[in-house]
Amino acid sequence: MTTTTSPAKTSAPAIGSQVRDYFERVRGGDLGALPAVIGLVVLCVVFASLSPSFLSPINFANLFTQGAGVTIIAMGLVFVLLLGEIDLSAGFASGVCAAVMAVLLTNEGWPWYTAVLASMVTGVLIGLVLGALVAKLGIPSFVVTLAAFLAFQGVALILLDEGTNVSIRDETILAIANSNLSPLLGWVLLVAGVLLYAGIQLTQARRRTSRGLMADSMAVIAVRVGALAVIAGFAVYVLNLERSRNPAIISLTGVPIVVPVILVLLIVWTFVLRRTAYGRHVYAVGGNAEAARRAGINVDRIRISAFVICSFMASIGGIVAASRANSVDPNTGGSTVLLFAVGAAVIGGTSLFGGKGRVLDALLGGAVVAVVINGMGLMGYSASVKYIVTGAVLLLSAGVDALSRKRASSSGRR
Amino acid sequence: MSQAPVLELRGIDKSFGPVQVLHDVAFSVYPGEVTALVGDNGAGKSTLVKCIGGIHPMDSGEYFFEGEKVHVNGPRDAAAMGVEIVYQDLALCDNLDIVQNMFLGRERKSGLVLDEDTMEEMAAKTLAGLSVRTVKSLRQHVSSLSGGQRQTVAIAKAVLWNSKVVILDEPTAALGVAQTAQVLELVRRLADNGLAVVLISHNMNDVFAVSDRIAALYLGRMAAQVKTSEVTHSQIVELITAGRSGELGLPTGNGASA
Ligand SMILES: Nc1ncnc2c1ncn2[C@@H]1O[C@H](COP(=O)(O)OP(=O)(O)O)[C@@H](O)[C@H]1O
Ligand SMILES: [Mg+2]
């Protein structure tokens, strides 16, 4: 705060100064995705050294399909968490939505697209009810969604005839979590994605420079695009390796279809949060609801919409989970799903206190959760140990969140 | 100064539940002038301002803007007329940056997408127009700003919109000497540019330094609205503490009990 340059008309900062800014932010308590990235690297190194099969192509592919459902639910939870609210019912909401789809698909013989649509509409309706109870009646979201947590288990039981297991035989639905893109399509999508990202970054920088605004330097953009290309390229390469135990009989290669599904959701919701007025208002309500109200923002509508998005994403998460399990039963979306989803968002850097978070956090945190579950499974730990460790990881990330908030307030960043 | 008031209130009543905070308040604000609104803690200054800004609905009374009777039903209505308020409890979002705060609720868009570049340019121009050069980057979060800088952002947010009336609720209460002087200078400059400015302050020196008129609230009633040049410090202090001073002020026997 010592420099007194005019706010506009500043040339592109050198990469060194951007790196310095970043470390300053981290020291000031704004850790962002740092814990998740470090955690991911450490966990991968540990599991890889303890269990040789962790790094096998088949296990790498498993990580994606295992973590997909939780990650998608976590993406929706980010919206609710951004407002400083919580949705404890998101797990069972996904179960109810999956049950709706399974019953319509298998018992009623609906085509897959109407069954999926009905499932998503169910999610939206659930979100409307939850959001209205929180925003209009002012019941704490903790209580509303805890009640829904219980009630949805009952609804799932009713839908599934007191507990039968409804299997899914529709090819399209099964493909989501069980089929792969062709290796060629994987590469094509990768190249297209990286080029698109580079194009957006470059045009943005050029536009800002031409208007005399501070823009990212070419070096920074090159580093970003390069990092994306290397990481995503490595992932596509490994996923395109043969991972069948018996390639002569059945070949198993390519990027699982859930991966592009998740990426599309990531891009869409990131766009909504970062590039639209609606997204800006979500952050504003989460940061200071009274300020948002005084700015003329309809705070109730933002609240309700966040719950709608959360439950809608839960329905997609439920569909993916059903696809992976090939069936829906009363425990779909139950057990640890919700805790893992909340954990994923928080581990990724989304704050439980509201106002801070990104959809990408859900992806990073979801990767951490998937690696923990998967790695411990490979090493043969029992469910008891997995529960305890995952609980500890959630507590740890919530602790990091609380501490960094404390640190931020003492360093004047909040 | 025979100018017509740009904003005029008549007979404003406002209660919170059983507590009546404003009684039959009249208040006028003139273009090109700084009107100081003074009164003891709890006199109802902030409440009056929030009624003007549409944050609180008024129970009864008339609201005139540029001579027309208007109905203000929310913050957007007030903003649409050109009435901007810098609230005592600063209405800034700590987790947003300076530009985002200045345009909050009124974002510039091109199609669906936020037009960040235009917003940043306009914010830069406004801050430069206010001769503010103390912020490092318009993209830093408001949480990292000092009290004076936050106050400056809040004021810049208010003048960004070609506003006609800018109301500042105790803008200098939390500031040091140098920052206070800067903000007061800014207040005077706004009025000299033709805006109607309302300044709420407890500091008599500040009030006499920048204001053209003084309105004194006493226990929710408007004790007097006078020209600054026609009164003394001690008269204003009496109006604030007793509701009357000589022939100025409320008639005797008209206290809070009414
Ligand atoms: N939202 C509210 N609900 C109930 N009482 C309020 C509210 N806002 C202000 N008051 C009361 O109204 C009175 C005037 O408050 P205020 O307008 O803040 O005074 P000032 O700004 O002059 O110090 C105080 O007694 C205060 O307690
Ligand atoms: Mg006040």
Q: Please give the mean pLDDT across all residues of chain B.
A: 88
Would residue B170 be called left, alpha or beta, if left means φ above 0 and alpha means ψ between -120 and 50 degrees?
left
What pLDDT shows up at residue A7?
A: 42
Which of A76-90, A228-242, B124-138 is predicted least confidently?
A: B124-138
- The ipTM, to two decimals, is 0.86
Note whether B35 and B211 are within 8 A (CB): yes
Task: Output Rg (C-alpha) for chain B, integer angstroms.
Answer: 18
Q: What are phi and psi of A412, to 5 degrees?
A: 75, 25
Task: Say whether pLDDT at A413 is over 50.
Answer: no
What does the pLDDT average to over B46-74? Answer: 93
Give residue-wise pLDDT tens across range A237-261.
999 998 888 878 888 888 999 999 9
pLDDT band at B245 (very low <50, low <70, confident <90, very high): confident
In this complex, the residue of A7, A290, A292 whose CB is nearest that of residue B138 is: A7
Residues of A in contact with B131 (CB under 8 A): none
What pLDDT shows up at residue B3?
A: 78
Which of A213-217, A264-268, B106-110 is predicted least confidently?
A: A213-217
Task: Say whether pLDDT at A6 is over 50.
Answer: no
Would the CB of B164 count as within 6 Å of ligand 1? no
Query: Mind listing the domains of chain A with CATH numbers?
Result: 35-179+256-410 (1.10.3470)
- Evaluated on CA atoms A98, A398, A281, A273, the torsion sign reads negative
Task: Say whether pLDDT at B253 is over 60.
Answer: no
What pLDDT shows up at residue B57?
A: 92
Task: Say whether pLDDT at B257 is over 50.
Answer: no
What pLDDT shows up at residue A13?
A: 55
Return the percentage of chain A with pLDDT > 90, whole number: 59
Closest CA–CA distance from residue B90 to any residue of chain A (Å): 8
B112 secondary structure, DSSP code:
T
What pLDDT shows up at residue A2?
A: 37
pLDDT band at A33 (very low <50, low <70, confident <90, very high): confident
Atom nearest to B47 CA in ligand 1: 17
Q: Do A296 and B141 touch (CB under 8 A)?
A: no
Return the percentage of chain A with pLDDT > 70, whole number: 92
Alpha-carbon gap, residue B19 to A52, rounded angstroms: 73
**pTM of the predicted structure, to 2 decimals:** 0.88
Q: Do A291 and B109 touch (CB under 8 A)?
A: no
Note whether B153 and B171 are within 8 A (CB): no
Enumerate chain A positions whose Cβ falls within 8 A of a Cβ in B.
Answer: 1, 3-8, 28, 207-208, 211, 213-214, 275-277, 280-281, 283-284, 286-288, 290-297, 355-356, 408, 412-414
Neighbours of A182 (CB within 10 A): 12
